[in-house]
């Protein structure tokens, strides 16, 4: 069992790493890929992983939504492009300094969903943020190529739209030139792109959304992805599995690596294979891509 996408440095996971790792291992867990999203969590992420070198692997990346979070949402409205460009430069230098400890570039990608929800972000600013996200994504793909590392990609569209995933795929082709590999984590986009994602050689990461009553579209996506391209993840501390969501006795609800057990159970049923078979194939997928 593996968790190919989580943020162990975030609350409440970071408060109890030993117990979380213990629960994971006693449930048959082998590997966790914890991912940074901004320049602040790089060191925290590396420090957590350093304590469990055989279990925790590290991905370093810039999440696409950090650009609105470090500028407009903090009251900075001018010279966004320059500010963000410096932010990406700082990321690159920290990444290069730590590259020997890194197994993947991520979390990276594009997100046209989040800034669209926010009324205070003007249309022109949204367009500027899109350009900044693309620049950041291109530069992270370049890092992946330079160091021969896989990508962990976040691609989130506004409901019913396709431009985010379309741009991600186009940039992967332009910048990756057929030489980058990776995973589309928590893919909730249009099912018609699955063919392209697979044709590019990418894997697809499935999490607790498949355990939710509302997860029908992602269960349909799972049906289309062959066993040798499936990865599991929690995206913890987000997305607790359905058993935790509906348990009224649990006060603090969050996703953690051991939840992959419940995700595999549901996925095995959808794919019509045994849990053991699915687990061993997908653990091999994790090793092939990240180790
Ligand atoms: Zn994430």
Ligand 1 center to 177 CA (angstroms): 25
Structure tokens that stand for 80 in this block: 């966004």
* CATH number of the domain encompassing residue 179: 3.20.20.140
Structure tokens that stand for 215 in this block: 């997860």
Summarize pLDDT for 232-249 with one digit per residue, the tens.
Answer: 999 999 999 999 999 999
Residue 257: its pLDDT value, please? 98
Ligand 1 center to 234 CA (angstroms): 9
The whole-angstrom separation of Cα 130 and Cα 185 is 20
Q: Helix 260-271 to helix 275-290 angle, to the nearest 10 degrees?
A: 110
Summarize pLDDT for 194-232 with one digit per residue, the tens.
Answer: 999 999 999 999 999 999 999 999 999 999 999 999 999
In this structure, how many other beta carbons lie within 10 angstroms of the beta carbon of residue 117? 8
Entry pTM: 0.97
Compute CA distances 113 → 33, 81, 83, 108, 186, whole Å. 25, 20, 22, 15, 14
Q: Is the separation of the CB atoms in 234 and 203 below 8 Å?
A: no
Ligand 1 center to 216 CA (angstroms): 21
Ligand 1 center to 63 CA (angstroms): 8
Ligand 1 center to 45 CA (angstroms): 13
Say what the alpha-carbon torsion angle 163, 137, 169, 73 is, to the nearest 10 degrees.
-20
Ligand 1 center to 10 CA (angstroms): 11
Ligand 1 center to 185 CA (angstroms): 8
Ligand 1 center to 90 CA (angstroms): 21
Which residues fall within 8 angstroms of residue 181, CB to CB, at 6 or more apart? 150, 151, 201, 202, 289
Range of the domain at 213: 2-290
Total domain count, the chain:
1
Ligand 1 center to 107 CA (angstroms): 6
Ligand 1 center to 122 CA (angstroms): 26
Residue 101 DSSP one-character state: G
Low-confidence ranges of the chain (pLDDT < 70): none
In this structure, how many other beta carbons lie within 10 angstroms of the beta carbon of residue 28? 13
């Amino acid at each position: 069992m593996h968790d190919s996408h989580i943020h162990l440095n975030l609350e409440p996971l970071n408060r109890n790493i030993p117990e979380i790792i213990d629960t994971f291992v006693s449930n048959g867990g082998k590997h966790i890929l914890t991912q940074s999203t901004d320049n602040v969590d790089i060191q925290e992420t590396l420090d957590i992983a350093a304590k469990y070198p055989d279990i925790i692997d590290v991905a370093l990346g810039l999440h696409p939504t950090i650009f609105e979070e470090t500028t407009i949402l903090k009251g900075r409205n001018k010279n966004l492009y320059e500010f963000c460009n410096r932010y990406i430069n700082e990321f690159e230098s920290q990444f290069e300094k730590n590259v020997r400890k890194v197994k993947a570039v991520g979390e990276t990608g594009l997100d046209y969903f989040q800034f669209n929800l926010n009324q205070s972000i003007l249309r022109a600013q949204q367009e500027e943020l899109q350009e900044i996200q693309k620049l950041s994504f291109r530069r992270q793909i370049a890092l992946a190529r330079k160091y021969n590392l896989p990508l962990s990609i976040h691609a989130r569209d506004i409901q019913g739209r396709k431009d985010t995933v379309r741009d991600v795929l186009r940039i992967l082709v332009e910048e990756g030139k057929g030489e980058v590999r990776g995973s589309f984590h928590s893919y909730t986009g249009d099912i018609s792109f699955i063919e392209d994602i697979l044709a590019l050689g990418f894997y697809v990461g499935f999490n607790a959304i498949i355990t939710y009553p509302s997860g029908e579209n992602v269960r349909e996506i799972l049906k289309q992805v062959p066993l040798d391209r499936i990865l599991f993840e929690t995206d913890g501390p987000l997305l607790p599995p359905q058993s935790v969501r509906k348990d009224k006795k649990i006060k603090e609800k969050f996703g953690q690596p051991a939840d992959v057990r419940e995700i595999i159970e549901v996925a095995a049923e959808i794919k019509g294979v045994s849990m053991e078979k699915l687990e061993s194939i997908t653990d091999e997928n994790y090793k092939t891509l990240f180790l």
